[in-house]
Amino acid sequence: MPETIRAFTRMDQVQAPIIPIIGRMIRQTPGTISLGQGVVHYGPPPQVADAVRAALSRVSTHEYNDGAGIPALVQRIAKKLAAENQIDVSRGSRVMVTAGANMAFMHAVMATTAPGDEVILPTPFYFNHEMAIDMAGCRAVRVPTDDNYQLRVDAIANAVTSRTRAIVTISPNNPSGAVLSESSLRAVNALCRDRGLYHIADEPYEYFTYGAARHVSPGSFADAAGHTISMYSLSKAYGFAGWRIGYAVYPEHLESAMLKSQDTILICPTIAAQEAAAAALDVGRAYCEPFVRDLDSIRHSVVSELQKLGSRATVPTSDGAFYILLRVHSDMAPLALAERLIREHKVAVIPGTAFGMTDGCYFRVAYGALQKETVVQGVGRLVEGLQAILT
C-alpha cells in the first residue's frame, strides 16, 4: 500500500461477515453439509417469470423510477400491510421498497442517527445490523436476552442513555428462532414512545412460526406509527433472496432522510425485480405455507437429533424462522470448534460470536436450505462431531 494512503478506515472496526469465512472452509472440505446459511431451499412462484418476461418489453423497466418504489408495488405492499400486519399506512406512515431488508435497515440507521449515537441490539442480534450501525459511525449497545432468547425489557430500559436513538427487535428471530412475546414487544414499543426513540422492528420471518407461536407487528400497536420502523423481505417467504427486494414502513417525518439515503445508495430498486415482487405478492402468503409446514417437521427432527447431545448442550425453544441457537457446554473457542466440525466431520454451523454471543460456546443451526434427509444427516454429523471433539 502506498505510504500516502491512510491505513485506518471506518471498515476496520466492522466485523468481517461470517458467512464467506465459513463458506471458504466448506469449499476446502468437499462433501460438507452446510447448516450455515439462512436461506430457503425453494425458489419463487412460477408467476414471477411471466411477470418479468412481460416487464422486459416495456421501456419503463429499463429506466430509473421512483426512489420509494414503483407505484404498483407500493400499492400492493400497502394492501398486504393492512390485511396481514394490521398496519394502515395512510395514518402517518410511508412505504419504501428496498434492495432487501438489509438495505431498509441501513437506511433506517442513516435516517435516525448522528455519528456517536447508540442503537440497542438485544443479543443474539443479526450480524449485519451491528455492521450497519458501526458503518454509520454509531455504537451498537448489546443487551442480553433470557435463557430462551426472550427480551429482558428491564435490561433494555436500563441501557437507554441520552445518546440512544433506537431499539431493534427481530421476531421471529435470526439467529435464535425465538418468537418474541407480544407483551415484550408492546413494552419495548411503549418504552420507545415514552423515551423519544425509534423502534426498529425487523420482520423478514413473519410467516415462519410453528405450533402456537404467533407473529405480531409492533407497527400495528396503537400510537406506534410515529416512532416505529418496520421492515420486511421477500427473500425467505418467496424464495426471492437473489432478487433483492424488501420494504420498510416508517414514520412520514423521516421521508426526506430515507429518500436521501435511497437516492444515494440505490437510486431506485431494480424495476424488473419490483415487477417480480408484485407478481409474488399477488400469489401471496399461501405460496410459502406448505414449505413452512415442511420446515416445522424438519424442526422437530432437528430438535430430537440435537437432544442426543444430552448434558453436552442446551437446546432452547425455537418456534420461528428456521434456526436453532445451540449452547454447547465447552470452553473451546466457537470458531475453532466450527472449523473442526467442518474439517473433521463435514458439517458447517455458524459460531454464536457472530451474533454477539460471547459468554459461551453457541452455534446457529440453520435448517431451511436443504431437503429434510440432508438436514437430518447434517445434524447427525453435528451431534457425532461434538460428541467426538468434546470427549
Ligand X SMILES: Cc1ncc(COP(=O)(O)O)c(C=O)c1O
* Partners of 95 in beta bridges: 249
Longest Cα separation, the chain: 64
Give me the least distance between CB of 227 and ligand X, in Å please.
20
Give me the least distance between CB of 133 and ligand X, in Å please.
13
Report helix, strand or coil for 167.
strand
Report CA 45 to chain centroid distance, whole Å: 22
Question: Helix 101-112 crosses helix 255-265 at what angle (to 10 degrees)?
Answer: 130
Task: Rank residues 366 and 386 by Cβ distance to ligand X and give the closer one.
Answer: 366
Task: Rank residues 334 and 368 by Cβ distance to ligand X and give the closer one.
Answer: 368
Task: Rank residues 209 and 235 by Cβ distance to ligand X and give the closer one.
Answer: 235
CA–CA distance, 162 with 145 (Å, rounded to integer): 22
Task: Rank residues 151 and 309 by Cβ distance to ligand X and give the closer one.
Answer: 151
Give me the least distance between CB of 37 and ligand X, in Å please.
8
For ligand X, which residue has the nearest CB? 100
8 Å CB contact between 325 and 357: yes
CA–CA distance, 30 with 159 (Å, rounded to integer): 45
Give me the least distance between CB of 217 and ligand X, in Å please.
14
Task: Rank residues 357 and 386 by Cβ distance to ligand X and give the closer one.
Answer: 357
CA–CA distance, 237 with 363 (Å, rounded to integer): 24
Give me the least distance between CB of 18 and ligand X, in Å please.
12
**Residues contributing to the site for ligand X (CB under 6 A):** 38, 100-102, 126, 170, 174, 202, 204, 233, 235, 241, 246
Give me the least distance between CB of 69 and ligand X, in Å please.
14
Mark out the alpha helices in 171-254 (DSSP H runs). Answer: 182-195
Give me the least distance between CB of 340 and ligand X, in Å please.
25
Task: Rank residues 102 and 145 by Cβ distance to ligand X and give the closer one.
Answer: 102
Which residues have a Cβ under 8 Å from the Cβ of 197 and sit 6 or more positions away?
A: 160, 164, 165, 166, 167, 191, 227
Q: Which amino acid is at 303?
A: V
- The DSSP line for 76-102 is HHHHHIIIII---TTTTEEEEEESSHH
Task: Rank residues 132 and 309 by Cβ distance to ligand X and give the closer one.
Answer: 132
Give me the least distance between CB of 47 and ligand X, in Å please.
20
Three cell numbers written together for 103? 438495505
Which residues have a Cβ under 8 Å from the Cβ of 29 and sit 6 or more positions away?
A: 342, 343, 346
- In the DSSP assignment, the letter for residue 154 is H
Give me the least distance between CB of 198 and ligand X, in Å please.
16
Query: Cα separations (Å) of 321 from 145, 344, 381?
Result: 18, 29, 22
Task: Rank residues 221 and 323 by Cβ distance to ligand X and give the closer one.
Answer: 323
Task: Rank residues 241 and 347 by Cβ distance to ligand X and give the closer one.
Answer: 241
- Tell which residue, 17, 4, 1, 12, has the closest CA to residue 354: 17
